[in-house]
A = this chain, B = another copy of it.
């Protein structure tokens, strides 16, 4: 079995000077402390302490070996999206980031699979960027769940998503740009509450707006963090759809009618939640995703799935088979056996 983590982040080596491609002052860059630690920076601001695995593919692969992950599908981080920048600069920035992501993955081409990022603030530029990235070797796109007030169901974003389907590019949707105020500025509450509400909102808007009706059925859509709050609260949304005209006015089906239109990762950190998630979405629509190497990620990738009461067949789907199918990774499946795999 090939174990594939579809939600893992890379912040490639990007200098302060590189960051000026995107913004004059507060562009995102990486401060490498030279001792295995570093800092994600936004201009002069320290955004988050990080470790070398985030940018060094050799360290990354060694850690993957240690925990039994064969392949990572890697994304940049939301701090790098640049959706609020000038379009031309954002397009150039995405080229730079996407090239660094390719270089990171080229260090271990049978272990690391890159997703690109795009200037989503401009549909034409975003479509061009994803087409170019797919030609260069990216397997899909890492997308923020909204661009300012534009959600995934906005006409411009739907057009982009349809283009991704046409290109065969999978789309990993990551929550970001959470409403921040004094109520959520402590304890990482923006990550714990805000991110999961963002993903909940994104999935419901795609369903209730009728956007799923307009999107191609072969669009490969994956939501991070176990679909945020959506799976547990699906009953509430369905009940509202059945009972209020203003909820169902733009959609042919209740939200539960669109579960076959997207996938989710498994990053829920609790076996009971994972069971609910698989019951709601089906075992063919949940993929191992860990948020590696960030501390809010799964400390031991795959452990939650392996320790669950899911059948061996379902575990194999979650641990890798679904990802092989969704990201087109047949060429990497079954080609290697990890030392750690042998010893289990």
Interface residues of A (CB under 8 A from B): 146, 149, 151, 179, 181-184, 186-189, 191-194, 196-197, 200-201, 204-205, 208-209, 225-226, 228-229, 231-240, 243-244, 246-247, 249-250, 267-270, 272-273, 275-276, 279-280, 295-296, 298-299
9 closest A-B pairs by CB: A235-B270, A235-B269, A232-B232, A229-B229, A197-B197, A187-B208, A243-B295, A239-B269, A193-B201
Report Cα–Cα, A186/B177, bound state, in Å.
20
Starting from the known contacts A200-B229, A232-B268, A276-B276, 14 additional A-B residue pairs (CB-CB under 8 Å) come to A187-B208, A193-B201, A193-B204, A193-B229, A194-B197, A196-B197, A196-B233, A234-B270, A234-B273, A236-B268, A240-B295, A240-B296, A244-B296, A275-B276
Q: Give the copy number.
A: 2
Report Cα–Cα, A101/B183, bound state, in Å.
32
User: Can you report 12 residue pairs joining A to B where beta carbons are below 8 Å apart?
Assistant: A146-B183, A187-B249, A192-B247, A196-B236, A197-B200, A229-B232, A232-B232, A233-B273, A234-B273, A240-B295, A243-B295, A272-B276
Report Cα–Cα, A243/B191, bound state, in Å.
13
Closest approach, in angstroms, between the C-beta of A310 and any C-beta of chain B? 15
Establish whether residues A149 and B269, one from each chain, have CB atoms under 8 Å apart when the complex forms.
no
| Chain B residues positioned under 8 Å from A197 (CB to CB) | 193-194, 196-197, 200, 229
Report Cα–Cα, A206/B270, bound state, in Å.
21
| Chain B residues positioned under 8 Å from A280 (CB to CB) | 272
| Chain B residues positioned under 8 Å from A182 (CB to CB) | 149
Residue on B nearest A229 in the bound complex, by CB:
B229
Closest approach, in angstroms, between the C-beta of A243 and any C-beta of chain B? 4
Establish whether residues A151 and B183, one from each chain, have CB atoms under 8 Å apart when the complex forms.
yes
Residue on B nearest A181 in the bound complex, by CB:
B149
| Chain B residues positioned under 8 Å from A204 (CB to CB) | 187, 189, 192-193
Report Cα–Cα, A228/B42, bound state, in Å.
33
| Chain B residues positioned under 8 Å from A272 (CB to CB) | 276, 279-280
| Chain B residues positioned under 8 Å from A250 (CB to CB) | 187
Report Cα–Cα, A191/B200, bound state, in Å.
12
Closest approach, in angstroms, between the C-beta of A149 and any C-beta of chain B? 5
Residue on B nearest A184 in the bound complex, by CB:
B201
Also in contact, A149 and B247, with CB within 8 A (given A233-B229, A272-B276): no
